[in-house]
Structure 1
């Protein structure tokens, strides 16, 4: 079963050794728990978090964040504790902030779905407010390690098809980009998948473990996944499902009812024109329920980091298979059993 997996990227800063790192202020620091780094913890505890603050925290994370029960680790320097992003600015300026020691909040029994909801109830805009999208920074997490947690990739959508036998199966995926729209691949909504699999009938949101309708990770629990009926399918007008190059392989699904955002269900941010272009070697992430090396599909949400591949070399390699690659396409990966199908 092929599952479409969407990617997003963050810049990875250099780690000098297992414990030493370089901060965003170009100072030597140590990779420690965010709860031991006062100035970054203060940013994390400031509500609401701005997009600049979220980005600053993401870029401050270091590679040790997969230990200590997934407590995020950040690059922290003793003499760098006055550096934070100036709130409310787009320029990424730095200003002073006095700090006090704050301890990690205790984890209490709670239902995640009622704890964080959208602050913007206005449905008139097609795209979400920038403070609502792309956010998976929740309490003691900045950005995950290698293991996918329940709260990660809250925009992941699964597409259900009704086979000619009447059975309903999951055969593609997409990303929630607003309260009523799913971004997906055009081959998931047009062409062979319809004639070979069946009609696209539902969109599922909020899944983590396909074997369970209600999932708890540690002491945190989430509501069952949501089923969403489809109002309209919008394929890219230039997509040709018979073309092996798969150019213009993008489309939209409009939902009948607006989605209610919560802690486990939020949209991803679409890139803007002022976003820096991806470069060779940049790290991107794919996420979904794709195939693994040893089983047909994964039942638990998976993720994988992949490097952006040199476009000229990618184009050359595909040309040997008589496949043409275009400038509006991205090449990533290149390692055996590490891609969007073999997750």
Structure 2
């Protein structure tokens, strides 16, 4: 169980990327069909304009996993999920949230237990671009120094001036 939680937590952290255009630093362009379980989490300050602020992982037809520091302290109406699109701010299907459950021991100062579940208001319908994540079994062991993949939205390089 600890391995699953650690793996899922790593996914949540990896998907909690800042809103930069298109790609992950050091990464490469891909498409949603290669990573259909990722969710662009959109945030609003004014209730009208939403922008990509975090990422998440589809767990079920109503649950998306993310890092707790993303929605911490926010009402569900401040967030939406864009699923099934390679672009963070267009395409796919947008879902509203009914509730946000932050880990009860989340500490925003230390970022311990930085995990949350966001529940959509309506069911997520699966297709080739929207799928739940494949979660490792309790007996799965990831050996040290193994290559892992992360997907999300960001920039492929940092320009130092």
TM-score category (smaller protein): 0.7 to 0.9
Matched, 1:242 2:109: yes
Cα deviation, 1:243-266, whole Å, max 9, x if unaligned, reads 2xx211111011111111111111
Query: How many residues matched?
Result: 136
Aligned position for 2:56: 174
Considering Cα pairs closer than 8 Å and 6+ residues apart, tell me whether 1 or 2 has the greater RCO: 2
Q: TM-score, normalised by structure 1?
A: 0.36
Structure 1 segments unaligned to the other structure (5+ residues): 7-145, 214-224, 296-343
Matched, 1:255 2:133: no
1:275 to 140, 154, 157: 140
Cα deviation, 1:60-101, whole Å, max 9, x if unaligned, reads xxxxxxxxxxxxxxxxxxxxxxxxxxxxxxxxxxxxxxxxxx
State the Cα RMSD in Å: 2.6
Contact 1:4 1:288 in 2 (8 A): no
| Structure 1 CA distance for aligned equivalents of residues 106 and 85 of structure 2 | 29
Q: TM-score, normalised by structure 2?
A: 0.73
| Structure 2 CA distance for aligned equivalents of residues 165 and 228 of structure 1 | 15
Give the alignment of 1:188-203 within 5 angstroms. Answer: 188-191=70-73, 194=74, 200-203=78-81
* Secondary structure of the corresponding residue to residue 284 of structure 1: coil
Task: Quote the offset at 1:206 in angstroms.
Answer: 0.8
Matched, 1:228 2:95: yes
Higher Rg = 1
Cα deviation, 1:94-147, whole Å, max 9, x if unaligned, reads xxxxxxxxxxxxxxxxxxxxxxxxxxxxxxxxxxxxxxxxxxxxxxxxxxxx65
Matched, 1:207 2:72: no
Query: Residues 4, 159 of structure 1: CA spacing in aligned structure 2 closer, same or farther, 3 A cutoff?
Result: farther
